[in-house]
């Protein structure tokens, strides 16, 4: 019983982390219908940049994060303008963007490897100590992580509901043709979308990096899990992604408890297949197109 509850708590924590990570993916897909196959490596890079500023320039956690966010949003915007934008104009874009981002992901992963070395880096935890409620053990740090996730989601929701650009993105996500008809500059909006998504993803990479170990290669694992989550939650729905992340995080924790860690990947695969067969648009996804 004790281990079960602890597993559930652990699942909640990892679920929140996954939710944070899946947000960037949802944003890009929701608005531009591009699947960011380089999602994992973007998260990793965001984390590494923060780590770099943290350890070498010694400016403290918050400034490092801010710098990293800035760099990542620029990066996203540049990647969009330079590479995705031309690809989207060709007829084969669904396919070519996947391949391109895949190649880019490999390239970036390897470059990161060259620059930072393969040895595992650790992001320092924010808070020390742990909390004990009865037999449930949770670190203050993990509580902090959940809080960070909640705050981020709230901020993003405010952005999407009350800022012009946020509403513009939602408009494009709902109907790109309609957005064009009313005269929205799709190129500009996409650029901002990529910038925002990269920033959020980079941020999530930092957060994930505090709980899990960090090497460039872990990006793929995060990416695949992110995809399954986004599929379950409904592509384009941030709320759905959060629900899905928590559910899948919990399932993963339970599976690890009862079956062992090695079965994690086959389980993700099975879950994915089940989701796709039963409800491909996910829990909250509206359109299947």
Partner 1 sequence: MDFVTFLKKLTWRNVVVALAFVFTVLYPLIGGKSYTLHLFILFFIWGVVAASWNLLMGYAGISSLGNIGFLAIGGYVSGILAKSLDLSPWVTIPIGGITSMVLVTLLLGLPALRLKGIYIALLTLIFADSLPSILTQTRDVTGGSMGLHDIPPFFSGMGKIHAYYICFVVFLIAQYIIYRVVHSSTGLAFVALRDSEHFAASLGVNRFKERLKVFALSSFLTGIAGGFYVHSLGDISPTTLAIEPFLLAITMMELGGMGTFFGPILGSAIIVFGGEFLRLAGTLRLSLLGGLICVIVLFFPGGLMQLVEQLEDWVQKRIGRKRSSPAT
198 near partner 1, rule: CB under 8 A: no
Stretch that binds partner 1, among 4-12, 157-165, 182-190, 257-265 (CB under 8 A): 257-265
Of 51, 73, 109, 243, which one interacts with partner 1 (CB under 8 A)?
Answer: 109
Which stretches of 80-139 are DSSP H helices?
85-88, 93-116
Burial class, 139, CB count within 10 angstroms (exposed 0-12 / middle 13-18 / buried 19+): middle
Cα distances (Å, whole numbers) of residue 65 to 59, 78, 200, 258: 10, 20, 11, 37
Residue 272 near partner 1 by CB under 8 A: yes
Convert residues 134-173 into a mask of x (bound to partner 1 by CB under 8 A) and - (unbound): ----------------------------------------
Q: Which is nearer to partner 1, 40 or 69 (CB)?
A: 40
How far, in whole angstroms, is CA 32 from its chain's centroid?
Answer: 16
If binding is defined by CB under 8 A, does position 224 make contact with partner 1?
A: yes
Q: Which is nearer to partner 1, 98 or 165 (CB)?
A: 98
Burial of 169 (0-12, 13-18, 19+ CB in 10 A): buried
Q: How far is CA 41 from CA 113, 223, 261, 286, in A?
A: 11, 8, 23, 29
Applying CB under 8 A, the span of 20-28, 136-144, 154-162, 274-282 interacting with partner 1 comes to 274-282
**By the rule CB under 8 A, 111 interacts with partner 1:** yes
Q: Does residue 239 interact with partner 1 by CB under 8 A?
A: no
CA distance 193 to 186: 10
Alpha-helix residue ranges (DSSP H) falling in 81-185: 85-88, 93-116, 140-162, 164-174, 176-181
Phi then psi for residue 121, to 5 deg, are -105, 150
Q: Give residues 33-72 in contact with partner 1 (rule: CB under 8 A).
A: 35
Q: Provide, rounded to whole angstroms, the least separation between the CB of residue 260 and partner 1.
A: 9
Give the Cα separation of 101 and 203 in Å (integer): 20
Assess 251 for contact with partner 1 (CB under 8 A): no
CB 42, CB 215: distance < 8 Å = no
Q: Which is nearer to partner 1, 123 or 228 (CB)?
A: 228
CB 47 within 8 A of CB 123: yes
- Select the residue interacting with partner 1 from 2, 178, 263, 286 (CB under 8 A): 263
Looking at beta carbons only, is 138 or 224 nearer to partner 1?
Answer: 224
Phi-psi region of 260 (alpha: psi -120 to 50; beta: other; left: phi over 0): left
For residue 61, the minimal CB distance to partner 1 (Å) is 30
Size of the site for partner 1 (CB under 8 A): 42
Complex with partner 1: residue 206 or 271, whichever CB lies closer: 271
* Among the listed residues 1, 133, 182, 277, the single contact to partner 1 using CB under 8 A: 277
Binding flags for partner 1, 74-103, as an x/- string (CB under 8 A): ---------x--xx--x-x-xxx-xxx-xx
Residues near partner 1 (CB under 8 A): 35, 83, 86-87, 90, 92, 94-96, 98-100, 102-111, 113-114, 220, 224, 227-228, 231, 262-266, 268-269, 272-273, 276-277, 280, 288
């Amino acid at each position: 019983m004790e281990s079960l509850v602890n597993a559930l708590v652990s699942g909640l924590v990892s679920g929140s982390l996954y939710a944070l990570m899946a947000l960037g993916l949802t944003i890009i897909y929701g608005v531009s219908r591009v699947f960011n196959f380089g999602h994992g490596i973007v998260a990793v890079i965001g984390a590494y940049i923060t780590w770099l500023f943290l350890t070498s320039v010694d400016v403290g956690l918050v400034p490092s994060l801010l710098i990293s966010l800035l760099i990542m949003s620029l990066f996203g915007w540049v990647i969009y303008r330079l590479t995705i934008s031309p690809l989207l104009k060709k007829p084969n874009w669904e396919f070519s963007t996947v391949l391109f981002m895949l190649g880019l992901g490999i390239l970036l992963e390897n470059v990161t490897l060259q620059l930072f070395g393969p040895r595992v880096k650790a992001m320092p935890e924010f808070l020390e100590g742990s909390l004990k409620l009865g037999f449930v053990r949770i670190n203050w740090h993990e509580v902090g992580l959940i809080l960070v996730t909640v705050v981020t989601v709230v901020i993003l929701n405010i952005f999407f509901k009350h800022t012009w650009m946020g509403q513009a993105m939602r408009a494009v996500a709902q109907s790109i043709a309609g957005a064009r008809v009313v005269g929205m500059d799709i190129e500009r909006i996409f650029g901002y979308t990529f910038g925002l998504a990269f920033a959020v993803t980079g941020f999530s990479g930092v957060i994930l990096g505090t709980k899990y170990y960090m090497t460039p290669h872990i990006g793929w694992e995060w990416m695949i899990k992110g995809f399954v989550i986004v599929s379950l939650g409904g592509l384009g729905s941030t709320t759905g992604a959060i629900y899905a992340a928590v559910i899948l995080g919990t399932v993963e924790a339970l599976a690890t408890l009862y079956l062992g860690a090695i079965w994690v990947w086959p389980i993700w695969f099975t879950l994915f297949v089940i989701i796709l067969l039963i409800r491909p648009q996910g829990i909250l996804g509206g359109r299947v197109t």
